[in-house]
């Protein structure tokens, strides 16, 4: 047996021996649905997905949140996992899949008044954020009418809630500003306005040139 054949045989043997170990390690990293019955295990899995996402490991983040979606639909982590999945797909530019996750979040009727994690987020507002997420997906796809519709639903149906007056005013101001922007894009008024402005500029330039041709040249008066 030559050296190349010997190395090849060793590699095959190593692969056969190590494959079961890799399977055991992967299965140990991701808990089973039975293990996710405890709320602490679900919270740990959610934190694991969040940490992986922050580290740029989107594959691990997706697997963690998908496991919560599959096994723990009655836990407090479920709407968080759905929203995070929608946000992940948005960043991956798979807007249709992101919309599907955001809609699933809305259909789950989450507790929007669940306390948030900081003074800047007094309440979770899952439905409000989900509706805005759908609006942003449609905007990225260039479909401004459904984007406007979902922004309006965020204002009228999936309303923002907070006991903080400044937080409420800031959220409503940003949403109203977004709705006005989408009204312009959906109605194409920005195109009409830009065309009108360009026409005015061209007309003024032509008028100025015509006036210069008609006016006699000025003569310098010598004193």
- Residue 211: its pLDDT value, please? 65
The owner of tokens 């789950």 is 108
CATH number for the domain spanning 143: value is 1.25.40.10
- Per the structure, the complete domain to which residue 43 belongs is given by 33-188
Please say if the pLDDT value at position 206 is more than 90.
no
Domain total in the chain: 1
Q: Return d(Cα 131, Cα 66) in angstroms, integer.
A: 21
Q: Yes or no: say if 168 and 160 are a contact pair by the CB < 8 Å rule.
A: yes
Question: Is 174 part of a structural domain of the chain?
Answer: yes
Q: Return d(Cα 49, Cα 55) in angstroms, integer.
A: 10
Q: How does the average pLDDT of the chain come out, rounded?
A: 81
Closest CA to 78 of 57, 117, 54, 107: 107
For 121-137, the pLDDT digits (tens) are: 899 999 999 999 999 99
Q: Give, as one character, the DSSP assignment of residue 218.
A: P
Question: Is 25 part of a structural domain of the chain?
Answer: no
Can you tell me the mean pLDDT for 176-203?
70
Question: Is 19 part of a structural domain of the chain?
Answer: no
Question: Is 5 part of a structural domain of the chain?
Answer: no
- Residue 32: its pLDDT value, please? 81
Question: Is 82 part of a structural domain of the chain?
Answer: yes
Q: Which residues contact 53 (CB under 8 A, 6 or more apart)?
A: 61, 84, 88
Question: Is 215 part of a structural domain of the chain?
Answer: no
Question: Is 147 part of a structural domain of the chain?
Answer: yes
Q: Is 144 exposed, middle or buried (0-12, 13-18, 19+ CB in 10 A)?
A: buried
Closest CA to 81 of 70, 91, 90: 70
Question: Is 132 part of a structural domain of the chain?
Answer: yes
């Amino acid at each position: 047996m030559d050296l190349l054949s010997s190395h090849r045989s060793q590699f095959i043997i190593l692969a056969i021996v190590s494959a079961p170990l890799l399977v055991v390690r992967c299965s140990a990293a991701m808990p089973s649905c039975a293990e996710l019955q405890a709320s602490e295990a679900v919270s740990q899995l959610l934190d694991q997905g969040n940490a992986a996402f922050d580290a740029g490991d989107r594959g691990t983040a997706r697997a963690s949140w998908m496991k919560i979606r599959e096994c723990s639909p009655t836990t407090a982590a479920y709407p968080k996992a759905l929203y995070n999945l929608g946000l992940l797909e948005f960043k991956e530019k798979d807007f249709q899949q992101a919309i599907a996750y955001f809609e699933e979040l809305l259909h789950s009727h989450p507790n929007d008044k669940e306390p948030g994690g900081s003074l800047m987020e007094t309440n979770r507002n899952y439905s409000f954020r989900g509706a805005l997420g759908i609006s942003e997906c449609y905007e990225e796809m260039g479909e401004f009418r459904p984007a406007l519709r979902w922004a309006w639903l965020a204002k009228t149906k999936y309303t923002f809630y907070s006991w903080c007056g400044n937080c409420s005013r800031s959220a409503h101001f940003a949403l109203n500003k977004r709705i006005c922007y989408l009204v312009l894009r959906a109605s194409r008024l920005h195109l009409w306005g830009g065309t009108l402005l360009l026409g005015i500029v061209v007309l003024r330039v032509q008028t100025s040139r015509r006036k210069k041709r008609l006016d006699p040249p000025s003569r310098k008066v010598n004193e």
